Structure 1
């Protein structure tokens, strides 16, 4: 008869998570900051202060080339934060499994096993929430703040985002005001990035609420239909086509949410922000080596470890007394932001 340890293993949970169709739908941040793995928890990257090319210096023939310092580049170093949470499958759960096994019919036991694996999969899903929250904080503030009252951990990461690449609109300039000029604002922000770095802004991120300011704005409606602008039947497709033709940008309306331990839900990207970004990857989501992966994966203990989603460690530990299986999900993760100087963050309403 299979034991409790035969059902809940790290490899079985990893296989369940990997083969779950929902795991194949990446968050927006994961597409902008692709995941990579590194050893340990130290993170460093070279950040270009400006993207414009610097002209070569003139030189005489038969003279040694002048050495150029890496002016305008800064090495950023920090330590990546650690996250870990666990669930326990106890003796009472095992008794329920035994009772269902007496039916010798998978249709009775599979629902309970599915529930057990779904619970563990939620820990892995929670691990995926962490880097997405970090990335969207970066893209809306240039900062990352991680805090937990329960574990008393508090991290602040200041990436040194340029103040000249941020703006807070006020008064009649906010996009919810019909007298505002959102198209001119976007054109101005694009020029700032292009003049400072040479980069061309081609994309933007906002929420449904912020998108609504553009959908309802009388100046945009009038520009789309000078004869009867206020009577135009605006759709998402019409506005996307207008912005692409007018500004050469594609806007991602991002409304995904996550939940905290207290049950409250929050958007990954905040309302009232409009962030302009260039083409291509913006940075990298770096995963470090967790203690479970570094010290338990060799198999010399009662623990079993499997890695999913580049750097999320799933660990199962057998406890003989009381008879339990503890499932632990852990990660060390932090995004780098090499293209930070080519991004513009605007707060367009209050």
Structure 2
């Protein structure tokens, strides 16, 4: 890690020196430099949960298609007499889903005023000041690329916890219903906020039974945020099961709940309470309150990337620099003449597929009115 960062810092310092020798600013902050900076930056970061459940994949174009297969418990082979013809078995039905991926883009630029400030900084020879200004420029681009990562996680978590995707902004409204069975969405019998009377384990088991009966596969994982975790910790029935002789005097811990779900239901629980900032500057949770998602082992689908216009039309041209990061996010830098500035644009064509949707149950921890 340190070697990679040192290499980039040395390269950046070399480029800064070249800049003082009249190398254009455009070459200093071109797309390849930005892409290298981001790639090294991501080595320090843990992936989003959705990146594990829906790993990245890429295809040409913008149309996305995937199949949902008919599922169910294994069916026994039919008995037959010797020398008799085999009895044909119908093939399982597959539903093909086809849609266009969603397109996202945003940009930032270095304007004439900032360029003049850079010139003054370079002439000062103050390396600390130079590094601070350049780090700010690169951080602006990282903010855009990170925004693309956040958008993908929003879509994945919406899909996992609602069966739908709804993304709005910049006058655009993207909406897609993945057709999750209504029988695979449900409410608990008694709201878990009623810690004295609710029975979370029974509610979860009922949902797991539904998925197993429909698909032949029992969920092995549960995802929820800290609000649901608190409801589970406060549950009187869970407390009594854990500490039958003193539940009223013992505070059930997070570790207690995680272990209990594993021991009692063979469920691996993941508490996911990460936040993001929406376009209005408000903090929001990737996983909504009062939702518990039950899912099978393994990957649930893929995070697909299509070909952006920048990658398709500008990558081989000499009018812009284009680099690809995170499998399919295009970073494009363009040198504009009037006014003189360097425009950096981040764009992506992306949408998750959900091949395992039939094996997921979305449980609302508030009872239906």
User: How far, CA to CA, are the matches of 2:67 and 2:75 in structure 1?
Assistant: 17
The secondary structure found in structure 2 opposite 1:68 is: coil
Q: How many residues align?
A: 344
Residue 50 of structure 2 aligns with which residue? 29
Aligned equivalent of 1:116, options 137, 140, 145: 137
Contact 1:145 1:155 in 2 (8 A): yes
Q: By how many angstroms is 1:349 displaced?
A: 2.2
The CA deviation string for residues 212-237 of structure 1, in whole angstroms up to 9 with x for no partner, is 00011111111111111111232211
Q: Which runs of 5+ in 2 are unaligned?
A: 1-21
Contact 1:139 1:275 in 2 (8 A): yes
Residue 90 of structure 2 aligns with which residue? 68
The CA deviation string for residues 279-309 of structure 1, in whole angstroms up to 9 with x for no partner, is 10011000101000111111x2320000000
Aligned equivalent of 2:176, options 157, 170, 175: 157
Residue 288 of structure 2 aligns with which residue? 270
Residue 92 of structure 1 aligns with which residue? 113
The CA deviation string for residues 287-333 of structure 1, in whole angstroms up to 9 with x for no partner, is 101000111111x2320000000110000011122211110000011
User: How far, CA to CA, are the matches of 1:140 and 1:279 in structure 2?
Assistant: 17
Residue 80 of structure 1 aligns with which residue? 101
Moved more, 50-59 or 5-14: 50-59
Residue 6 of structure 2 aligns with which residue? none
Residues 49 and 155 of structure 1: is their aligned pair in 2 closer, same or farther, counting only changes over 3 Å? farther
Residue 305 of structure 1 aligns with which residue? 322
Residues 58 and 19 of structure 1: is their aligned pair in 2 closer, same or farther, counting only changes over 3 Å? same
Residues 321 and 111 of structure 1: is their aligned pair in 2 closer, same or farther, counting only changes over 3 Å? same
Residues 190 and 119 of structure 1: is their aligned pair in 2 closer, same or farther, counting only changes over 3 Å? same
The secondary structure found in structure 1 opposite 2:165 is: strand
Instruction: Using structure 2 for the length normalisation, give the TM-score.
Output: 0.89
Instruction: Using structure 1 for the length normalisation, give the TM-score.
Output: 0.94
Residue 248 (str. 1) matches residue 227 (str. 2): no
Residues 301 and 21 of structure 1: is their aligned pair in 2 closer, same or farther, counting only changes over 3 Å? closer
User: How far, CA to CA, are the matches of 2:281 and 2:50 in structure 1?
Assistant: 23
Q: By how many angstroms is 1:105 displaced?
A: 3.3
Aligned equivalent of 2:341, options 321, 324, 339: 324
Residue 333 of structure 1 aligns with which residue? 350
Contact 1:17 1:23 in 2 (8 A): no
Aligned equivalent of 2:230, options 201, 209, 212: 212
Q: Which runs of 5+ in 1 are unaligned?
A: none
- RMSD across aligned positions (CA): 1.7
